[in-house]
Amino acid sequence: GTFTLTTGVSVWPNTQYDDGTDLVTMDNNKYANLWFYLEPDGDLVMLYGTAQYNQSALAELESPPSTIPLRISTHSFLAARLIFQKSASAAEEINSVFTTVFSPTLVSDHGNLAGLTDDDHTQYTLEDGTRAFSGNISHGGFNITSVGTLAGTLSTATQNSVTTMTGLTTIGTLIAGAVPASLVTAGTFGTGDYVFDSKVTVENVLFDNTLGGNVAGPGIYGISNLLTLVGGTSGTRILNQAADAVNFIILDGGNVGIGKEVPSALLHIDNGDSTGLAQEVLRIESKDTSATSAGIKFYADAAVSGGIFGGRTSGSERTLDIQHLDAQTASQPALRFYTTLSGTGLVERMSILAGGNIDFKTGTTKFNTVEYTWPASDGGVNNVLTTNGTGGLSWTAGGGGALGGSGTAGTISKWSAASTLTDSIITESGVTVTVATTLNATNLGGTLSTAAQGNVTSLGTLVALTVDNIAINGNTISSIAGTDLLITPLGGQQIVLDGAVTIDGSVVTGITSLSSDKVIVSAADGIVRSVANATTILSGGTTNILGANIVLYGQSHASQAADWELRSATTVRLDWDESDLEFTVHGGIVITGDFTHQGTNIGFFNTAVQPKQQVLGSRSGGAALTNLLIELAQYGLIIDGTSA
């Protein structure tokens, strides 16, 4: 197996044993062993015992651990055994394996002689118990201590003489008769009556009744169906052995606690749960199916009426009954409900009178999460109860006279005269409200909104809509009150004109400002002038004739080498190729001003471009050649390197 070594231990443990898998905490009042081994270097090694026992005598029967660390089985030997009770500060018993006293001279002790273990000494009993006694044994009035297990049936000629045997354990059967007060047994009491002394002290008792019928199972049974438990001045307790906690207690003063060690009332129940989970604290079941059955009945003294609280199931009923019996008058409170706030004492909040009326003692009530504040008076004749929309209730004078008139189903009626209702022009079908003629909303104030609708839709034609300083009329959006029409996106956003969008000066008058870093036109036709043969002006200034720079940017494309083009109809007249860094003019070029070539290479008539060439050699005095070379050099076409 696997062992854990802990060194430098100064106090031996007294609460655990090793069950072969892990360390186990002992139960209260149990006994266990500690085994000690001596190593050649003088170190003392301890191993935990392998079980726990009800008595120290049973702990004595335990054998040394069969599975031990290799270092112990190879180099060490068993030296001693310590028996202890859980959490005790002193050992119950210490046993050593050394019974021989060594002497440097001749043998001086009979125990050191050889042959003592032979089985031919008939005058002695054998340690292994294989030789029986051939006669009676007298101990001369001395005690027999540390007895392990007595098998079979234990009996005495006069049983009352078996006294004060605090360590006696039997796995056999004790015969009936007088039993000493300090008897411990793990076996079976035989059939018959046992007469105990006037006081029997029992530390732990396990009841295992195997009788049949209604009394089968563990229990304590009294004579003539009367069981009497008598406790000391601190009361009678029933403990939970596993947790060593009080499950049930009856104090000397009469208070009863269930789950409460110090009950503060005649009956105090505490489920001990702090997890917030629902825990039943008290359940009372009644098997009586009569109509007046009650789970709990509360009675006062003879001068006061009693009450009943309980639940019942009669036929198909599943009801909870709270009853008050024998009220004196109908106005007498039968049930009262009290609360307290911040230690101000109990205050009556509501009562149910014997006649059936409910008396709310406060001015507010809450129904379906809405809290209502009630008026302090009864109001006037023909008053109606109205609300202010926030739960405040008040009395309002109603219309006088008898209510008359006729109406049509689905029509929202109106007052045509005092106390007379007639049809109005408003009808509703459960989902739609319809106004037969015009809805005049000139005095509509506040905010007009719809529930979860992004659009306000008219079944007819919405002729005009004015929002602040913007008018929408037909297909025209215009600015009013002398202001500009501004379309301004949020920061970092764009204005996108998508589809066939036309901006026409004859429709949108004045100056239109697009307050955006850029305008994206995603339509395939781009920006198109709507009038045939009309001029399209792009101006970088404030007017069409006061323009600043206009910058055109192209972008390389995998299937289109020219980054931007100028066309006449569908014919390309001028294009720029970013990859070759060159303009291509498809047609002639007319230059009306000066022309300067600032590049390094040049070519004419579809020849490859060449750098400026140098002309060498002698002009041989030719005047015409000299003048030609001078002119060509001045135009920058050649480098004149000739001589006269």
Kindly state whether residues 530 and 508 are assigned to the same domain. yes
Kindly state whether residues 104 and 31 are assigned to the same domain. yes
pLDDT in tens, 90-138: 999 999 887 654 444 454 566 666 666 666 666 677 777 777 777 888 8
Note whether residue 553 is domain-resident.
yes
Asked whether the beta carbons of 91 and 84 are under 8 A apart, the reply is: yes
Asked whether the beta carbons of 321 and 314 are under 8 A apart, the reply is: no
Note whether residue 67 is domain-resident.
yes
Asked whether the predicted pLDDT for residue 65 surpasses 80, the reply is yes
CA distances (Å), 373 to each of 16, 292, 366, 367, 370, in order?
A: 67, 38, 9, 11, 10
Note whether residue 380 is domain-resident.
no
Our CA angle for 186, 190, 195, nearest 5°, is 95
Confidence bin at 85 (pLDDT 50/70/90): very high
Residue 97 CB contacts under 8 Å (≥ 6 apart), including other chains:
78, 79, 80
Across 31-40, 91-100, 181-190, least confident range: 181-190
Distance from C-alpha of 136 to C-alpha of 223, rounded to nearest angstrom: 42
Give the total number of structural domains in the chain: 6
Asked whether the beta carbons of 54 and 60 are under 8 A apart, the reply is: no
Query: C-alpha dihedral over 47, 51, 55, 56, to 10 degrees?
Result: -20
Kindly state whether residues 567 and 582 are assigned to the same domain. yes
Kindly state whether residues 240 and 199 are assigned to the same domain. no
**Number of other residues whose CB lies within 10 A of the CB of residue 118:** 9
Q: Token pair of 22, please?
A: 């892990």
pLDDT in tens, 267-283: 888 877 666 555 677 77
Note whether residue 175 is domain-resident.
yes
Kindly state whether residues 201 and 240 are assigned to the same domain. no
Note whether residue 496 is domain-resident.
yes
> How many residues can be counted in the chain?
644
Question: Quick one: pLDDT at residue 118?
Answer: 66
Question: Quick one: pLDDT at residue 357?
Answer: 86
Asked whether the beta carbons of 334 and 309 are under 8 A apart, the reply is: no
Asked whether the predicted pLDDT for residue 434 surpasses 80, the reply is yes
Note whether residue 135 is domain-resident.
no
Kindly state whether residues 528 and 553 are assigned to the same domain. no
Q: What are phi and psi of 402, to 5 degrees?
A: -80, 145
Question: Quick one: pLDDT at residue 580?
Answer: 76
Kindly state whether residues 489 and 522 are assigned to the same domain. yes
Kindly state whether residues 553 and 636 are assigned to the same domain. no
Distance from C-alpha of 517 to C-alpha of 490, rounded to nearest angstrom: 11
Mean pLDDT along residues 241-246: 59
Asked whether the predicted pLDDT for residue 63 surpasses 70, the reply is yes
Note whether residue 505 is domain-resident.
yes
Distance from C-alpha of 573 to C-alpha of 592, rounded to nearest angstrom: 19
Kindly state whether residues 235 and 250 are assigned to the same domain. yes
Question: Quick one: pLDDT at residue 155?
Answer: 56
pLDDT in tens, 380-399: 887 888 888 888 888 887 65
Confidence bin at 328 (pLDDT 50/70/90): confident
Half-sphere exposure (Cβ direction) of 68: Cα atoms closer than 13 Å: 20
Question: In this prediction, what percent of the chain has a pLDDT beyond 70?
Answer: 55
Asked whether the predicted pLDDT for residue 431 surpasses 90, the reply is no
Q: Token pair of 16, please?
A: 């655990």
Question: Cα(first)–Cα(last) distance of the chain, in Å?
Answer: 116
Kindly state whether residues 53 and 80 are assigned to the same domain. yes
Note whether residue 170 is domain-resident.
yes
Asked whether the predicted pLDDT for residue 182 surpasses 50, the reply is no
Mean pLDDT along residues 216-229: 56
The rounded mean pLDDT for the chain is 73
Mean pLDDT along residues 582-586: 85
Half-sphere exposure (Cβ direction) of 54: Cα atoms closer than 13 Å: 14
Residue 542 CB contacts under 8 Å (≥ 6 apart), including other chains:
none
Which amino acid appears at position 82 of this protein?
A: L
Confidence bin at 640 (pLDDT 50/70/90): confident
User: Coil, strand or helix: which one is 225?
Assistant: helix
User: Which residue reads 């079979």 in tokens?
Assistant: 152
Asked whether the beta carbons of 300 and 285 are under 8 A apart, the reply is: no
Parent domain of 554: 549-594
Question: Quick one: pLDDT at residue 305?
Answer: 46
Closest CA to 602 of 578, 579, 636: 636
Confidence bin at 425 (pLDDT 50/70/90): confident
Closest CA to 257 of 223, 222, 278, 281: 281
Across 70-84, 284-298, 434-448, 573-587, least confident range: 284-298
Residue 455 CB contacts under 8 Å (≥ 6 apart), including other chains:
none
Asked whether the predicted pLDDT for residue 465 surpasses 90, the reply is no
Kindly state whether residues 25 and 85 are assigned to the same domain. yes
Q: 503: part of which helix (H) or strand (E)?
A: none
Confidence bin at 160 (pLDDT 50/70/90): very low
pLDDT in tens, 481-537: 666 677 777 776 766 666 555 555 444 434 445 555 566 666 566 677 666 666 677
Closest CA to 406 of 425, 427, 424, 423: 423
Question: Quick one: pLDDT at residue 56?
Answer: 92
Asked whether the predicted pLDDT for residue 315 surpasses 60, the reply is no
Kindly state whether residues 600 and 576 are assigned to the same domain. no
Q: Token pair of 220, please?
A: 């304590």
Question: Quick one: pLDDT at residue 510?
Answer: 43
User: Which residue reads 């392990």 in tokens?
Assistant: 148
Asked whether the predicted pLDDT for residue 16 surpasses 90, the reply is yes
